Every structure is written in C-alpha cells, then in structure tokens.
C-alpha cells in the first residue's frame, strides 16, 4: 500500500464523513467542490474536508483509491458515496437524508427539505 493510500485510508477511517475536495469547506476552489460542501454545510453535517490541492499525492491517490476519476469525493462511514452529480441527485431525491439516517449521522432535515423545495 502506498503512503498516499495509507494516508487516505486513515482519513476515511478516522472521520464519519470525509469530503476530498479542491479547497476547503470555508473556501472551495472549484464549483463542484463548492456545491457539495455547500450542501453539507447547509445541512449542518459535521465533516472533515481534505484539500487535494495541498498534496499532489493525495490528489492523484484519491482517484486511484476510489477508482473514481473526479473530485470532489464524499465518504460516509468509510464508504465512497460519490461525486458532485451523485450527491446533488441524492440530495434532491432524499436519498442522502436516508443514507445519513442509516449511518447515524446528524443533519438538519429542515435544511435538506429547503434545498429540495428551492430546486423543485
């Protein structure tokens, strides 16, 4: 296992919710990362953000780790959930709420419903 792979595994195992993104949750550096961080922030999900722009080994390593070519990437309780399009879709369908509930992750259900109302 490469150093990057071991680091990524440690990050994924060390937090219930991890978002590998370009930038940080306070200052996303791309629109896709901004969208996913915005959803999680608005819904009040406690998550760890990993800025892939700060480390090239992690930036490439996360793509190999998940076998997914794009960033951002969201992990919940060690499980790869998806990137921007998948998270957006799951948010709008209510699937993200269900997953968070199944995994016992706290979030603001009212905020999730407001997102769906605004996008109906």
Strand residues in 1-119 grouped as ranges (E): 17-21, 48-51, 73-76, 79-82
Residues, the chain, total? 120
- The CB-side HSE value for 10 (13 A sphere, CA atoms) comes to 8
Residue 30 annotated as lining a ligand binding site:
yes
How far is the C-alpha of 28 from the C-alpha of 34, rounded, in Å? 5
Strand order in 73-76's β-sheet?
A: 48-51, 17-21, 73-76, 79-82
**Do residues 66 and 5 touch, judged by C-beta distance below 8 A?**
no
- Return binding residues: 30
- Return binding residues for [2Fe-2S] cluster: 30
């Amino acid at each position: 296992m490469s150093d990057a792979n071991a680091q990524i595994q440690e990050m994924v195992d060390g937090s219930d919710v991890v978002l590998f993104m370009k930038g940080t949750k306070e200052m996303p550096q791309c629109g896709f990362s901004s969208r996913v961080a915005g959803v999680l922030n608005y819904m009040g999900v406690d998550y760890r953000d990993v800025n892939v722009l700060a480390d090239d080994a992690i930036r490439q390593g996360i793509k190999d780790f998940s076998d997914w070519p794009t960033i951002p990437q969201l992990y919940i309780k060690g499980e790869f959930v998806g990137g921007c399009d998948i998270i957006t879709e799951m948010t709008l369908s209510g699937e993200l709420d269900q997953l968070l509930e199944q995994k016992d992750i706290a979030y603001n259900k009212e905020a999730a419903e407001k997102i769906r109302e605004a996008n109906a």
